[in-house]
C-alpha cells in the first residue's frame, strides 16, 4: 500500500478492500522501521492517528466520506496541532503543545484525513538543506549523506521514501519547491493568501505560504481542495472562490504558451541540469505547447532583496520567544534581562540568530530607509517583471535549483553559498505568485525538478500542466533504492 498515491488509496478505502485503521497501522509500522535512516519525523502520533482512522472508518460506514477520509498524511512541524507538540524544529519550542489547531490542520481533520505525525524541518523554516533543525539533519532518500533541501525537507524525504503518501509544507523562499526537486516529488507553492496562515508559526509574514507535497500533481490537487480557501482568522487570506483543482487536470495543453526566463538559464545553472530542464520543455512542445524566451530583468536583485525583507520580518516575529510566556526558558535567571538574553541565546540555533541580527540591523534607526525600504521598492520591480511577462505567456518554466542535492555539511560554513541555492525560487515569493516543482529527470543519479510558474491564482493551470506532463513521463514514479 505504501507505493500507492493518495488518489489510489482513496479508491482502495472506498471499495472496502482495506480499512483506514489497517492502512494507518501499515504506514505507522513502516514509519517506525524505516525513518531511522532519514530522520524525517520529529513526532509520530500513533494513538491519535489510530483514533482518527477509527473515526474515519465510522464516517465512511455512515456514508459521510470525502476523498480524504481515512487517508494517512503528515504535517510539517510548523502547523499547530491541538494536543500534539509543535516544535518548528527548534529547542525554543521543543515541548510546546498548542491548545488549538491551525486552519490547515482543522481543514484536514474535517475532511477525515489521518495525521501520522509532524515532519522535521529547518529551525523556524530558516534554511535550504534541513541541517539547521534542533532535532538533527534530515537525509535525502536518494543519496547517503545528501541533503533533502529545506526548509520542508522532512516532508519531502518522507514522501520520497514512501513513509507517507503526502505531507504539508510551507514556502517562504522556495521551501516547498526546492526540497520537492531534490527529493524527486511534486510540490506546489500557492498564490500568497490562497491558503490560510492562521496557526502556521510565522517566519516572514509577507512571504510564508502553506502548500502540498505529494508524489503526483493529481494528489497535489486533492490537497489543494482541502487547504485553499478564505479564513476570517487570517487578515492576509484572500476572499475568492476556490475551484475544484481536480476538475481541469485532464484538459489538453494544445496552445499553451510557455515562457523561458533567460535570466534563469545562466552560468549559475550547471549544464547537466539545464539539459534535463530543456528536455522537459520539449515534452511540453510535443503536447502542443509553444515556447518563447521572456525576460525578468530584476531577477538578479531577488536574493539581495529577500535577505533584507525576510530577516527583518523574522526579527519581528521571533521577538515573542522571550521565555516569559511559553517555550524554552533558561535556568535560574538573575533578572529579567538575563532571562531574555540567555533564553534566546540558548533557545535559538545559529542560522536563526544570524537572521535575527541581520533583520534587526535592517530595521534599526538610520538603516531602515537604506535597506528595508529600498528592498521593498526592489520587490515591487520584481513583481512588475512577472506581471509584464504574463501578458505574453500562460506559464513560465525554469530550473528549481542550480544543482542536484549536495552533501551534508558542504555549505553550512558558508551562508551566502547556501542562500544561492534559492536563486531560482525566491523571486516568486517576493511577487506572491504560484509555482510548483515537478520531477523532470536525474543528474548523477539524483532528482531534478522542473519549476512551473503561474500568474496570480492560476494553481489549476499549473496542476493541469504538471499532470499532463506526468501522463507522458515516469520521473514521478521513480523510487529511491
pLDDT tier, 438 (very low <50, low <70, confident <90, very high otherwise):
very high
Q: Of 18-22, 388-392, 412-416, 446-450, which range is least confident?
A: 412-416
Residue 481: pLDDT over 90: no
Active site annotation includes 286: no
pLDDT (average), residues 399-413? 93
Residue 458 annotated among the catalytic residues of the structure? no
Please tell me the pTM assigned to this model: 0.96
**DSSP letter assigned to residue 68:** T
**Do residues 280 and 469 touch, judged by C-beta distance below 8 A?**
yes
Residues 6 or more apart in contact with residue 239 via CB below 8 angstroms: 230
Catalytic residue among 10, 45, 76, 132: 76
Write down the H helix ranges in 121-207: 153-160, 177-183
Looking at residue 414, its pLDDT comes to: 86
Q: How far apart are CA 280 and CA 400, in angstroms?
A: 13
The pLDDT of residue 18 is: 96
173: cell is 523562499
Q: Which of 302, 315, 239 is nearest to 268 (CA)?
A: 302
Q: Is 403 a catalytic residue?
A: no
The pLDDT of residue 1 is 84
pLDDT tens, position by position, 137-163: 999 999 989 999 999 999 999 999 999
Per mean pLDDT, which range of 203-212, 240-249, 355-364, 412-421 is the poorest?
412-421
Please return the burial class of 133, using the count of CB atoms within 10 Å of its CB with bins 0-12, 13-18 and 19+: buried
Q: How many Å separate Cα 265 from the centre of its chain? A: 23
What distance in Å separates the CA atoms of residue 326 and residue 331, rounded to the nearest whole number?
14
User: Among 363, 416, 349, which Cα is nearest to 124's?
Assistant: 349
pLDDT reported for residue 144? 83
Closest alpha carbon to 400 in 284, 236, 276:
276
Among residues 45, 133, 151, 152, the one annotated as catalytic is: 151
Return the biggest CA–CA distance within the chain.
70
Spatial contact of 32 and 43, defined as CB atoms under 8 Å apart = no
* Predicted confidence (pLDDT) at residue 456 exceeds the cutoff of 90: yes
- Tell me the residue length of the chain: 481
User: What pLDDT band is residue 69 in, cutting at 50, 70 and 90?
Assistant: very high
Q: Do residues 258 and 278 touch, judged by C-beta distance below 8 A?
A: no
Look up residue 129 and give its three cell numbers: 538543506
The pLDDT tens digits of the residues spanning 2-58 come to 999 999 999 999 999 999 999 999 999 999 999 999 999 999 999 999 999 999 999
DSSP 200: B
Handedness of CA 75, 479, 452, 226 (dihedral sign): negative
Collapsed DSSP state (helix, strand, coil) of residue 134:
coil
Closest CA to 127 of 135, 367, 102: 135
The 10s digit of each residue's pLDDT in 238-267 is 999 999 999 999 999 999 999 999 999 988
pLDDT at 406 over 90: yes
- Higher pLDDT residue, 463 or 266? 463
Other Cβ atoms less than 10 A from the Cβ of 301: the count is 17
* Res 416: pLDDT: 84
Query: In the prediction, which pLDDT does 417 show?
Result: 86
What would be the CATH architecture of the domain defined by 1-481?
Alpha-Beta Complex (3.90)
C-alpha cell at 72: 494517512
Q: Strand, helix or coil at 291?
A: strand
How far, CA to CA in Å, does 28 sit from each of 13, 51, 223, 292, 364?
17, 13, 21, 47, 49
Average pLDDT over residues 191-203: 98
- The pLDDT of 260-288, averaged and rounded, is 95
C-alpha of 372 from chain center: 25
DSSP per-residue codes, 411-460: STT-HHHHHGGGTTTHHHHHHT--EEEEEEEEETTEEEEEEEEESTT-HH
Res 128: pLDDT = 94
Among 19, 132, 175, 196, the active-site one is 175
Residue 93 banded pLDDT, cuts 50, 70, 90: very high
Query: What is the bridge-based pairing of β-strands 290-294 and 257-261?
Result: parallel
Output the pLDDT for position 33. 97
For residues 302 and 379, the answer to whether their CB atoms sit within 8 Å is no
Does residue 268 have a pLDDT over 90? no
% of residues, the chain, pLDDT over 90: 95
**Residue 286: per-residue pLDDT:** 98
Q: Is the pLDDT of residue 109 over 90?
A: yes
Amino acid at each position: 500500500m505504501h507505493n500507492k498515491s493518495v488518489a489510489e488509496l482513496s479508491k482502495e478505502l472506498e471499495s472496502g478492500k482495506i480499512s483506514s485503521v489497517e492502512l494507518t497501522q501499515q504506514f505507522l509500522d513502516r514509519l517506525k522501521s524505516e525513518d531511522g535512516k532519514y530522520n524525517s519525523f520529529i513526532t509520530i502520533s500513533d494513538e491519535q492517528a489510530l483514533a482518527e482512522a477509527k473515526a474515519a472508518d465510522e464516517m465512511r460506514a455512515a456514508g459521510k466520506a470525502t476523498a480524504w477520509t481515512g487517508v494517512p498524511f503528515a504535517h510539517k512541524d510548523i502547523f499547530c496541532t491541538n494536543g500534539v507538540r509543535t516544535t518548528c524544529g527548534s529547542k525554543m519550542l521543543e515541548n510546546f503543545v498548542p491548545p488549538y489547531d491551525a486552519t490547515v490542520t482543522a481543514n484536514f481533520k474535517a475532511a477525515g484525513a489521518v495525521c501520522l505525525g509532524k515532519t522535521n524541518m529547518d529551525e523556524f523554516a530558516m534554511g535550504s538543506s534541513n541541517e539547521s533543525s534542533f532535532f538533527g539533519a534530515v537525509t535525502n532518500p536518494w543519496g547517503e549523506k545528501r541533503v533533502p533541501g529545506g526548509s520542508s525537507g522532512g516532508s519531502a524525504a518522507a514522501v520520497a521514501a514512501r513513509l507517507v503518501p503526502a505531507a504539508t509544507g510551507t514556502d517562504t523562499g522556495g521551501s516547498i519547491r526546492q526540497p520537492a526537486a531534490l527529493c524527486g516529488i511534486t510540490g506546489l507553492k500557492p498564490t500568497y493568501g490562497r491558503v490560510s496562515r492562521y496557526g502556521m508559526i510565522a517566519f516572514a509574514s509577507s512571504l510564508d505560504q502553506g502548500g502540498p507535497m505529494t508524489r503526483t500533481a493529481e494528489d497535489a490537487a486533492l490537497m489543494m481542495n482541502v487547504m485553499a480557501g478564505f479564513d476570517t482568522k487570517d487578515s492576509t487570506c484572500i476572499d475568492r472562490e476556490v475551484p475544484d483543482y481536480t476538475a481541469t487536470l485532464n484538459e489538453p495543453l494544445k496552445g499553451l504558451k510557455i515562457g523561458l526566463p533567460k535570466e534563469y538559464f545562466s552560468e549559475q545553472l550547471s549544464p547537466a541540469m539545464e539539459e534535463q530542464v530543456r528536455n522537459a520543455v520539449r515534452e511540453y512542445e510535443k503536447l502542443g505547447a509553444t515556447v518563447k524566451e521572456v525576460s525578468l530583468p530584476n531577477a538578479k536583485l531577488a536574493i539581495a532583496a529577500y535577505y533584507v525583507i525576510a530577516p527583518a520580518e523574522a526579527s519581528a516575529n521571533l521577538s515573542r520567544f522571550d521565555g516569559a510566556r511559553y517555550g524554552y526558558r533558561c535556568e535560574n535567571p538573575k533578572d529579567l534581562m538575563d532571562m531574555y538574553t540567555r533564553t534566546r541565546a540558548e533557545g535559538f540555533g545559529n542560522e536563526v540568530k544570524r537572521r535575527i541580527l541581520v533583520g534587526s540591523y535592517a530595521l534599526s534607526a538610520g538603516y531602515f530607509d537604506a535597506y528595508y525600504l529600498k528592498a521593498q521598492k526592489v520587490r515591487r520591480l520584481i513583481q512588475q517583471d512577472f506581471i509584464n511577462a504574463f501578458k505574453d505567456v500562460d506559464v513560465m518554466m525554469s530550473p528549481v535549483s542550480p544543482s542536484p542535492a549536495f552533501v551534508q555539511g558542504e555549505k553550512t560554513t558558508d551562508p551566502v553559498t547556501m542562500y544561492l541555492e534559492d536563486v531560482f525560487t525566491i523571486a516568486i515569493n517576493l511577487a506572491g505568485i504560484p509555482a510548483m516543482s515537478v520531477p523532470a529527470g536525474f543528474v548523477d543519479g539524483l532528482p531534478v525538478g522542473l519549476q512551473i510558474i503561474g500568474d496570480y491564482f492560476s494553481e489549476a493551470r499549473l496542476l493541469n500542466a504538471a499532470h499532463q506532463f506526468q501522463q507522458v513521463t515516469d520521473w514521478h514514479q521513480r523510487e529511491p533504492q
